[in-house]
Amino acid sequence: MDSNGDGIGDLKGITSKLDYLKELGVDVIWLSPVYQSPNDDNGYDISDYCAIMEEFGSMDDFDEMLDGIHRRGMRLVMDLVVNHTSDEHAWFTESRKSTDNPYRNYYIWREGKDGGPPNNWGSFFSGPAWQLDTATGMYYLHLFSKKQPDLNWDNPKVRAEVFSMMDWWCRKGIDGFRMDVISLISKKPGLPDGIVPSGAFYADCGCANGPNVHDYLQEMNRKVLSRYDLMTVGECAGVTIEEAKKYASLDGKELNMVFQFEHVGLDDDVYGKWTDRRTDLRELKRVLSNWQVELSGKAWNSLYFGNHDQPRSLSRFGNDDPKYRTVCAKMLATCLHMLQGTPYVYQGEELGMTNCPFGGIEDVRDIESLNAYQEYTKEGSFSKEEMMHFIRLRGRDNARTPMQWDEGPNAGFTKGQPWIMVNPNYTEINAAAQTGDPDSVFSYYKKLIALRKQMDVIVYGEYELLEAGHERLYVYTRSLGDEKLLVICNFSVQETEYTLPKEFCGGSVLIENYARGRVAERVLLAAYETLVVRQLAGK
Ligand code: ISL
Ligand code: CA
């Protein structure tokens, strides 16, 4: 929400919408980076960790927002981006000056090899992961853009700086951290060449879950996290179930939970995310079920279908056709919110917001999409039209278009010119139209969130997958003590028959997206129908 008409959302704008979040039932707000940044990667390139980005407001605005959040009984989790800084951060401007600068070893510098970069690693944003710096004739490592040099976590001084900065924010009263690509902070010793996959130009760095990552997080936990009442979540690209059990172990030595990527990589192809492949439901069930079963009693799951890096979940995993989008958004929400773990609602997901029909590349703002468009069209892997097609389906900007508040100009987001196009469907999909409507997607989310707060079985219950091989239905149970729930989701537009397990026949419906009321032994599920059935007492 933009408060001053410059077309950019800001802190005062957020403060003005806190009642909306409270009404939805939000407990904790995860705020994307709002620190000072030249904005090469939407704030994930930070030049001062203790200052607020000018476009977003002032530190006073921040304090006011934090206070408003706390007064409403909500909490604030900040994005902690410490795998890298901006190249405009004071540490880096020092570091690049000379090989004997006191900050030299804050970053990862190497001599080139055979007239090229030190190894064959690629950046996540296209091109090599190394940039030659003229001042000293050496290369620095940047796993993301060249304006995001990687910090050298093996240097104890770097760790001390990061921990003291975190401590500063904790003393300010924030309630936790979402840790950006924290799985990548410990680089492979010797920085060896990797294998270049077919279709790719460079190798994956293989730095996920590096040798010291758990030591560093345990040190962070001892020195900072354990001293405050915080919620922590590590964004862990490349995390496996075995690794997640360490990062998010219930013993509390590291983090509370992790974001894993397995279920959002199922529709990748030879060229990574640049494809129009869709996720196979059986694969989705297999992956989510593994995480449910394996972490149960040992670690804690984060539950998400979308975020600022992912396309809109409704368009990706469901159906955003106006005919189906309301029922389908409710079905996806049910599927996610009935799982074990902490559900994340990405802004606008609670309204059923969809991918955006971007025109040409001039409508795109995200560095990942812009670079990939350049690289793949130049090299001839895809035509411009093909790349735009993939960007419309998978690009990160789909999730970054303005929040749709009402049916007024620019969806009520700004009185000026928005920094990125507004999704034209705002006249039909917007908050004002949904908050007072008992049948809206918003009201449905409200109900789901409230149910989770009332019923322990939804939070803690044991998970079991039924119908594993079914191509259209996702069915599972949750059980805790005498309580047992059956969650049925039709992921297809097709009417599909389903026979309930005996113990649920005649059970009451806890929540549903069609008005069914009671359930017989056999149900004919409509397009994207979902229902949660509660077992009859004593059965
Ligand atoms: O978005 C991705 C693929 O489409 C990922 O590769 C993403 O870059 C990766 O998950 C790391 O994401 C985080 O760090 C990035 C930042 O651009 C993302 O917004 C952030 O969530 C670099 O800081
Ligand atoms: Ca603004």
Rounded distance from Cα 397 to ligand 1 centre (Å): 12
Residue 370 parent element (H or E): helix 367-379
- Confidence (pLDDT) at 424: 98
Mean pLDDT of 419-424: 98
Find the ligand nearest to 149 CA.
1
Find the ligand nearest to 413 CA.
2
- Predicted confidence (pLDDT) per residue in 505-522, tens digit: 989 999 999 987 778 889
- Confidence (pLDDT) at 463: 98
Which residue's alpha carbon is at the smallest distance from atom 10 of ligand 1?
A: 237
Identified catalytic residue from 180, 204, 267, 529: 180
Q: How far apart are the C-alpha atoms of 209 and 479, rounded to whole Å?
A: 33
Number of residues written out for the chain: 539
Rounded distance from Cα 303 to ligand 2 centre (Å): 31
Residue pair 326/493 in contact (Cβ under 8 Å)? The answer is: no
Of 221-230, 362-371, 529-538, minimum mean pLDDT range: 529-538
Could you identify the atom of ligand 1 that is nearest to the CA of residue 83?
23
Q: For the chain, which residues make up each domain, given as ranges? A: 443-534
- Predicted confidence (pLDDT) per residue in 199-211, tens digit: 788 999 999 999 9
* Token code pair at residue 345: 């609602």
Question: Is 80 exceeded by the pLDDT of residue 300?
Answer: yes
- Predicted confidence (pLDDT) per residue in 32-86, tens digit: 999 999 999 999 999 999 999 999 999 999 999 999 999 999 999 999 999 999 9
Question: Is 80 exceeded by the pLDDT of residue 539?
Answer: no
Q: Tell me which of 3.50.50.60, 3.30.210.10, 3.40.50.2300, 2.60.40.1180 is the CATH number of domain 443-534.
A: 2.60.40.1180
Residue pair 235/182 in contact (Cβ under 8 Å)? The answer is: yes
Considering the chain, what is the average pLDDT of its residues? 97
- Confidence (pLDDT) at 506: 86
- Confidence (pLDDT) at 519: 84
- Predicted confidence (pLDDT) per residue in 192-243, tens digit: 999 998 878 899 999 999 999 999 999 999 999 999 999 999 999 999 999 9
Could you identify the atom of ligand 1 that is nearest to the CA of residue 394?
4
| Ligand 1 pocket mutation, candidates 180, 365, 373, criterion most atoms within 8 A of CB | 180
Question: Is 70 exceeded by the pLDDT of residue 500?
Answer: yes
Residue pair 143/191 in contact (Cβ under 8 Å)? The answer is: no
Instruction: Report the percent of the chain where pLDDT is more than 90.
Output: 96
Of 83-87, 290-294, 521-525, minimum mean pLDDT range: 521-525
Q: Model-level pTM?
A: 0.97
Mean pLDDT of 377-404: 97
Rounded distance from Cα 403 to ligand 2 centre (Å): 13
- Confidence (pLDDT) at 324: 98
- Predicted confidence (pLDDT) per residue in 25-37, tens digit: 999 999 999 999 9
The residue among 321, 345, 326, 312 whose CA lies nearest residue 452 is: 345
- Confidence (pLDDT) at 518: 76
Mean pLDDT of 401-430: 98
* Token code pair at residue 287: 């992956």
Please give the residue that has the higher pLDDT: either 482 or 199: 482
Residues 6+ apart with CB under 8 A from 467: 473, 474, 475, 498
235 is catalytic: yes
Confidence of residue 538 (pLDDT cuts 50, 70, 90): low
- Confidence (pLDDT) at 536: 73
The residue among 210, 187, 440 whose CA lies nearest residue 333 is: 440
- Confidence (pLDDT) at 537: 66
The ligand 1 site (C-beta within 6 Å) comprises 41, 44, 81, 124, 144, 180-181, 235, 237, 273, 308-309, 368, 396
- Predicted confidence (pLDDT) per residue in 118-173, tens digit: 999 999 999 999 999 999 999 999 999 999 999 999 999 999 999 999 999 999 99
- Confidence (pLDDT) at 480: 97
385 is catalytic: no
Could you identify the atom of ligand 1 that is nearest to the CA of residue 307?
21
Phi, psi (rounded to 5 degrees) for 329: -60, -40
Residues 6+ apart with CB under 8 A from 143: 83, 84, 121, 123, 124, 129, 150, 181, 184, 205, 207
- Confidence (pLDDT) at 273: 96
Identified catalytic residue from 150, 235, 320, 512: 235
